[in-house]
């Protein structure tokens, strides 16, 4: 079985994608669920939690792109998928439970932000990777 999968016509290194995704997912779950529940939503420390999650997404994209030999931007972008999936599942659970603070517009904006941050990590990782190849292919 090959270590590559084909997505959008590009070969994605499964190990590189998995390592970046697990890093991003670990940061998002640990910081978002554990530390985020301990911090007051209206306090100043919630900004630090948001910054830590954002940096975790960028670093996850960087790790995936650093380990990939080609398609660095796509590797970085795809690292946000598991975190987004878990985020949508938790927000749907909150909506079913009747929490009124869940907005579909905010979910869409946060999804685009997470994809953008992971893509930024992919660009940075592709720029400084020892596996110099095309950022796109």
Q: For 103-127, how does the pLDDT look when each residue is reduced to its tens digit (9 = 90+)? A: 888 889 989 999 999 999 999 988 8
Rounded to whole angstroms, how far apart are CA atoms 89 and 95? 10
The proportion of the chain whose per-residue pLDDT surpasses 90, expressed as a percent, equals 31
* Total number of residues shown for the chain: 137
Q: What's the start-to-end Cα distance of the chain, in Å?
A: 22
Rounded to whole angstroms, how far apart are CA atoms 134 and 11? 12
Scanning the structure block, which residue is given the tokens 């910081």? 31
Give yes or no for residue 22 having a pLDDT over 90: yes
pTM, two decimal places: 0.85
Q: For 60-76, how does the pLDDT look when each residue is reduced to its tens digit (9 = 90+)? A: 999 999 888 878 888 88
Task: Give φ, ψ of 12 to 5 degrees.
Answer: -110, 125
* 10-48 core/surface letters (b: 16 or more CB in 10 A; e: else): bbbbeebbebbbebbbebbbebbeeebeebeeeeeeeee
């Amino acid at each position: 079985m090959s270590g590559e999968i084909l997505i959008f016509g590009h070969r994605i290194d499964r190990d590189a994608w998995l390592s970046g995704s697990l890093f991003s997912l670990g940061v998002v779950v640990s910081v978002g669920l554990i530390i985020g529940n301990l911090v007051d939503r209206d306090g100043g420390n919630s900004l630090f939690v948001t910054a830590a999650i954002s940096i975790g997404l960028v670093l996850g994209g960087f790790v995936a792109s650093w380990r990939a030999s080609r398609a660095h931007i796509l590797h970085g972008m795809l690292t946000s998928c598991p975190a987004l999936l878990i985020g949508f599942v938790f927000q749907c659970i909150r909506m079913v439970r009747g929490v009124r603070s869940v907005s579909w517009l905010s979910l869409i904006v946060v999804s685009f932000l997470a994809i953008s941050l992971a893509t930024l990590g992919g660009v940075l990782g592709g720029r400084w990777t020892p596996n110099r190849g095309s950022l796109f292919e």
